[in-house]
Structure 1
Amino acid sequence: MSNSNMNEYRFQVNLSGMITILSNHLYSSPKVFLRELLQNATDAITARKKLDPASAGKIQIEITGTGADAVMVVEDNGIGLTEEEIHEFLAMIGHSSKTGTEFLAKETSFIGRFGIGLLSCFMVSDEIVMLTQSAKGGPSMEWRGKPDGTYTIRRLETALSPGTKVYLRCKPGCEMYYSPDAAAESLFYYGALLPYPVTLRADETSRVIHADVPVWIAEPELARSRKAEVLAFGEKLLGERFRDFIPLRTAGGRTGGIAFILPHSVNLNAKRTHRVYLKQMLVSEKAENILPDWAFFVKSLIWTDELQPTASREHFYEDERLEEVRHELGESIRSELLRMAEYDPDRLQSIISLHALSMKALAVEDETFYRIIYRWLPFESTYGQRELGELIQERGTLYYTTTLDEYRQITHVAAAQSFLVINGGYIYDAALLESLPWICPEARTERLAPEDVSLSFTDLTLEERNRYYDFVRTADVTLQRFRCRVQLKRFKPSELPVLFTLSKESSAFRSLEKAGEESTELFSSVLNSLSASFNEAAYSTLYFNLDNPVIERVCSANHPAMVPIAVEMLYANALMMGHYPMNRQELAVLNQGIVRFIDWGLSAGSGNGEASV
């Protein structure tokens, strides 16, 4: 096929449409224009230092006028641009200024992706005016850009000092971004770690936005000897008062930071947000993927020059390098905790008591860490909230449940009989208890099922078994349709009338039964088929406590109509005490039983002797 009739065309870009996309979809807020201008200025200063190491960088922002008449000028004494560089960098949106610039360091992003960064200014101004003088010589230049995609360039007759000035006139509706106080807040927000002084002039006053960068920014290990200074800095930047922190640093030293330990416990599902600076500029205050998942007990300031930002420069690409940095920062936290265990155990114990969940999450992943800190980990037990080391010293075998429901079933009985049971139903707890003997050889752990607690019950005498035989038979027949057997025992506490226990098979059967009630007819028939496959092990057990006066009275009652209703009511009560979901049949029994007892009560009030027990 001949290509003689084929013509080549160039894409046309609607710049106004791109600005709408930037403001509505790429950037989180129009105020990022200040971040982009600060970044441009910083990169220009860095580039000039490569050309002239003796130069000292500075950035100045001036605001004149108010409201719709406000004008902002952002000035730096960086390397500036030649006429050729203006055409190269400002006429092509998305063009990287690293290309062909011999004076730039390999990884310095001079006005990085300058086209997109410059476009952010159109969100707050209908025209951008830039005056620039290259440190390499040549005439001073003026560049004017408009959001319709047109721009003009002219040479100035007056020579300027090396550097760049950007003029922005307030766009209608953007007055808030030209307020001196709002500008000062944004400048500190984005540039708190800049290595150059940033000055804001407005209302005939001048203020330095931030002082010199602390020495521990470059060497986080020095933060340990400057605790008060570090905590004050963290409070100013993160808006929260902290009491402790952990220095962070990767092996190569290109990423560092401070992990501030939260002064309050946090939920496992809480968002883990950290403030991250890329090449001294804030990239994100909501970075969620910079630290391991288990490190949700810290809020961090992190600075880096090795991660790849997204186009908006507000997040990082999830790539291999980020994975390495995340792992190494996690190692910094882990190493510091191990260091505390050796040199400052009281400090570590304080952190564990406040952030036990995070410590357990790390212990599950790291056997060495678990081996060192296990004795301070708190667990819920029938002896109360206790540390694992205490429980090991007091008891030879640690019995534990694997679910919260199992623990709830047996906690009253076990506590009344001074029988230690640990609640392993919370996340990580059962896994830690199961592996404890490998970590601590003198510790023995054993999983306890609810039915095992019956071993602590007191059996009836032969005389009592004969006396209450009819009651047990009647109760068994009554609860047969619920796949529940009855046992009559004596146990503590006497205030507990009944105790419901079920095996794994019985629990699975109840789940299938409940799902069948809430499913479509077709799916329900499938679940019913599965339920039919369960054997005798799917039966639950309801223990009646003969030490309880209510049970003793029911067992002794000579009332054939009342006893089955009372048994069903006690069965429903046991389900509610154990926090078990009740199916329709069980709910109906509860409602019908209440109505029957009300009827009997009314009958007794009218003098009908049949209602007496």
Structure 2
Amino acid sequence: MSNEQEYRFQVNLSGMINILSNHLYSSPNVYLRELLQNATDAITARGQLDPGFIGNVTVEISGSGSQTTMTVEDNGVGLTEEDIHQFLAMIGHSSKVGQDFIAKETSFIGRFGIGLLSCFMVSDEIVVLTQSVKGGPSMEWRGKPNGTYTIRQLSTKLSPGTKIYLRCKPDSEPYYEPQMVEELLFYYGALLPYPVRLQANGVAKTINESRPDWIMQPELARGRRREVLAFGEKLLGEPMQDFIPLQTANGRTGGIAFILPHSVNLNTRRSHKVYLKQMLVSDKAENILPEWAFFVKCLIWTDELQPTASREHFYEDERLESVREELGQSIRNELMRIGDYEPDRLKRIIQLHALSMKALAAQDEDFLQTIYRWLTFESTYGERTFGELLADNKKIFYTLSVDEYRQITHVAAAQSMLVLNGGYIYNHELLERLSILLPELDMERLLPEDVSLSFEDLTNEERNQFYERIRLADGALQRFRCQIQLKRFAPAELPALYTLSKESSSLRSLEKAKENSSDLLASVLGNLGTSFTESAYSTLYFNLNNPLVQKIFNSADNQMFTTAAQMLYTNALLMGHYPMTRQELGVLGQGMVKFIDWGLSSNA
């Protein structure tokens, strides 16, 4: 015989309230959101029974300090006595859907049956007066945070709907202040399609009377620029630069993407305001737009996404993924439309948010073809748009890294070569895509050693004259696997240029890593270094047009010449932004000491 017995879970309501206030909800402010949401759902339910029904919500504040009372009244569907037992007294049960309450499609916002409990964060008692449109007596429900409640029938019959009374509990006075309540009602209910009224201090006010008609038809916003920007500033708290209407194919999600008036960091997490069934449920939605769309802040309204229990975020499911993709496509399409009809407007947007535009263009070839002329690049001709660079009718070169660009920019500029810095994020990807999209474009990657092709060779007489000097300099730099070339090139102010082949670059990286590694790892890296062939040599070009180089190569002092060659080598490394090894730093230090000593000796 089994001794097994069945028990029910006992819910500690005080503990539940603590969880709500400290873990589920971000602030006690949400109590008003939950009340407004319940009213919205009640009005929605009555509207399904009576399509011609017009709903409204009234919030009234009376008294002051700890004696303040708030009432929230709606003319929605109301509750029967059975509804009260089932939905107000059973935590975790919702009147909105069946058992599969997360996945099932619903016309309501609340689905978790815990929203009313949030009122215990600001009140020690909740009183609900309600009359169901289905008939039956009017009912009163009183709940307390200790888990007890009472229900009684009223002797008088109320109008259909629900009225909730809250009495301010100690230290909760700020949540009953009329100004704060007004701000919260607008914050959560600005887009509701029925009036939300506030009565306080003898004054009645409709909170959402300025709800614009383009809310449900975002494409109408294009012709209402001033109104849309003013509305966005009111809801988002800052003036915006521009905006883009948003709409999914099924029309169930839409909104306005406001373009921020300042550039933002690529890693900035941009949160958006999302209205579910036209009531704000989240102002922290970070995952509703693609990551590249960090240059906008949105007002989005939807009736198809599923909120989490706190109603402050949305489930990451296939539906959200589809909505995110469609909203991103709306932004793409509108920017392309602006490019076709308002190119100056697009140019301003791109200049303000160049990084965002490049991020999008790197993913979307159609968009790249639309905006490439307005994308800006650092070049040897200055900071220019790609369209301006094309107008110069010159062959375009680009580098893959910032270091490559820095190493050759002075020499390339002196040779009148047009070189673009492809090292910044997205730049070289965009340039490579453009070389494919625009086959008529004369553009190719430029390596540092390629710049030397424009250098002027020495005459036979000069080669004979400086043969021994070149051989001596080669020997001085042999330990650095660097070979010497003596050329003439511009600018004359540059004494030397250091370039690396692919193999010598890899070897240099290995040697640098070896210095900062443990003995075991250094041994492994050393073995890897032996696999490089004799071609793993760098090249140091001495510029015979430079007066200092001329003096050095015409010097009769071999020791001074050798030291000067090594110093020019380390100087070229510094000019090219190459990280130096310990050995090279040692040569630089020793050389400086020697030249100081020679200088002091000559003045003695």
Q: For this structure pair, what is the TM-score category when the shorter chain's length is used for normalisation?
A: over 0.9
Aligned twin of 1:610:
none
Question: Which residue of the partner structure matches residue 418 of structure 2?
Answer: 420
Q: In the alignment, does 2:384 pair up with 1:386?
A: yes
Question: Is structure 2 residue 196 aligned with structure 1 residue 190?
Answer: no
**How far apart are the structure 1 equivalents of 2:161 and 2:282?**
28
Say which SS state the counterpart of residue 535 (structure 2) adopts.
helix
CA gap 1:257/1:110 in 2 versus in 1, 3 angstroms: closer
Q: Does structure 2 conserve the Cα–Cα contact (< 8 Å) formed by 1:436 and 1:445?
A: no
Partner residue in 2 for 1:460: 458
Go from structure 1 to structure 2 and tell me whether the alpha carbon gap of 1:490 and 1:32 turns closer, same or farther (over 3 Å shift).
same
Following superposition, the deviation at residue 38 of structure 1 comes to 0.9
Structure 1 residues 76 and 441: CA distance shift in structure 2, 3 A: same
Name the % identity.
69
Corresponding residue number in structure 1 for 2:432: 434
Q: How much does 1:23 deviate?
A: 1.9
User: C-alpha distance in 1, partners of 2:538/2:142?
Assistant: 82
Give the CA deviation at 1:276.
1.3
Cα distance, 1:226 vs structure 2: 1.1
Query: Conserved in 1, the CA contact under 8 Å of 2:42 and 2:78?
Result: yes
Q: CA contact under 8 A between 2:244 and 2:256: conserved in structure 1?
A: yes
Bigger mean CA deviation after superposition, 321-330 or 424-433: 424-433
Q: Say if 2:97 and 2:106, in contact at 8 Å, map to a contact too.
A: no
- 1:73 is displaced (CA, Å) by 2.1
Native 8 Å contact 1:257 1:302 kept in 2:
yes
Q: 1: distance between equivalents of 2:360 and 2:91?
A: 46
1:236 aligns with 2:213: no
- Give the aligned residue type for 2:392: E
8 Å Cα contact 1:498/1:544 also seen in 2: yes
Shift in Å at residue 106 of structure 1? 6.4
Q: Measured at CA, do residues 126 and 516 of structure 1 come closer, stay the same or move farther in structure 2, by a change above 3 Å?
A: farther
Give the equivalent residue in structure 2 for 1:109.
Answer: 108
Q: 1:473 aligns with which of 464, 471, 474?
A: 471
Name the counterpart of 2:31.
33
Out of 52, 58, 61, the residue aligned to residue 60 of structure 1 is 58
Counterparts of residues 236-275 of structure 1 (less than 5 Å) = 236-275=234-273
- Partner SS for 1:16: helix
CA offsets, 1:234-264, max 9 Å, x none? Answer: 1111122223211110000000011112223
Corresponding position: 1:158 with 2:190: no
Contact 2:482 2:539 in 1 (8 A): yes
Q: Does residue 49 of structure 2 align to residue 51 of structure 1? A: yes
Deviations 1:456-485 (A, max 9, x none): 111222222233333322322222222222
For 1:316 and 1:328, locate their aligned partners in 2 and report how far apart those are by CA, in whole Å: 16
On the 8 A contact 1:44/1:111 being kept in 2, the answer is: no
The residue that corresponds to 1:449 in the other structure is 447
Output the CA distance in 1 between the equivalents of 2:119 and 2:536.
70
Indicate how the Cα distance of structure 1 residues 14 and 367 shifts in structure 2: closer, same or farther if over 3 A, else same: same
Counterpart amino acid of residue 323 in structure 2: V
Which residue of 1 is the match for residue 515 of structure 2? 517
CA distance in 2, matches of 1:181, 1:564: 81
Give the superposition deviation at 1:448.
0.9
- Does the 8 A contact of 2:76 with 2:161 survive in 1? yes
Q: Distance in 1 between matches of 2:174 and 2:507?
A: 63
Query: Deviation digits for residues 145-202 of structure 1, max 9, x if unmatched?
Result: 2223222222222332222222223333333222222222222111111112222222
Bigger Cα displacement from structure 2, 418-427 vs 511-520: 511-520
Q: How does 1:171-570 map to 2 (within 5 A)?
A: 171-395=169-393, 397-570=395-568
C-alpha distance after superposition, 1:340-377 (max 9, x if no partner): 23322222233223333222222222222223332332
Cα–Cα, structure 1 residues 516 and 179, in superposed 2: closer, same or farther, change >3 Å? Answer: farther
* Residue range with higher mean Cα deviation, 254-263 or 540-549: 540-549
SS of 1:271's partner is coil
Secondary structure, in 3 states, of the residue corresponding to 2:477? helix
Give the structure-2-normalised TM-score: 0.94
Q: Which residue does 1:611 correspond to in 2?
A: none
> In structure 2, what residue type is equivalent to 1:179?
E
**Stretch of structure 1 that moved more, 309-318 or 375-384:** 375-384
Count of residue pairs brought into register by the alignment: 600
3-state DSSP class of the match of 1:42? Answer: helix
Change (3 A) 1:590 1:175: farther
Q: Does the aligned pair in 1 maintain the 2:44–2:108 contact within 8 Å?
A: no
Q: Is 483-492 or 246-255 further displaced after alignment?
A: 483-492
Q: For residue 594 of structure 2, what is the aligned residue in structure 1?
A: 596
Q: Against the structure 1 CA distance between its residues 186 and 527, is the aligned structure 2 distance closer, same or farther, given a 3 Å change threshold?
A: farther
CA RMSD, 1 decimal? 2.2
Q: Quick check: 1:97–1:109 contact (8 Å CA) kept in 2?
A: no
Contact 1:220 1:258 in 2 (8 A): yes
8 Å Cα contact 2:129-2:140 kept in structure 1: yes
- Alpha-carbon distance in structure 1 between the residues aligned to 2:507 and 2:164: 73
2-structure distance, mates of 1:555, 1:122: 89
On the 8 A contact 1:371/1:440 being kept in 2, the answer is no
Moved more, 122-131 or 323-332: 122-131
Contact 1:370–1:439 (8 Å) recurs in 2:
no
Q: Which moved more, 1:333-342 or 1:591-600?
A: 591-600
- Unpaired stretches in structure 2, ≥5 consecutive residues: none
Sort the Cα spacing of 1:565 and 1:67 in 2 relative to 1 into closer, same or farther, 3 A.
Answer: farther
Question: Are 1:376 and 1:389, in contact at CA under 8 Å, matched by a contact in 2?
Answer: yes
Q: Residues of 1 paired with 2:64 and 2:601: CA distance? A: 86
In the TM superposition, residue 218 of structure 1 has moved relative to its aligned partner by 0.7
Unmatched runs of 5 consecutive residues or more in structure 1: 608-613
Q: Which secondary structure state, in structure 2, belongs to the residue aligned with residue 285 of structure 1?
A: strand
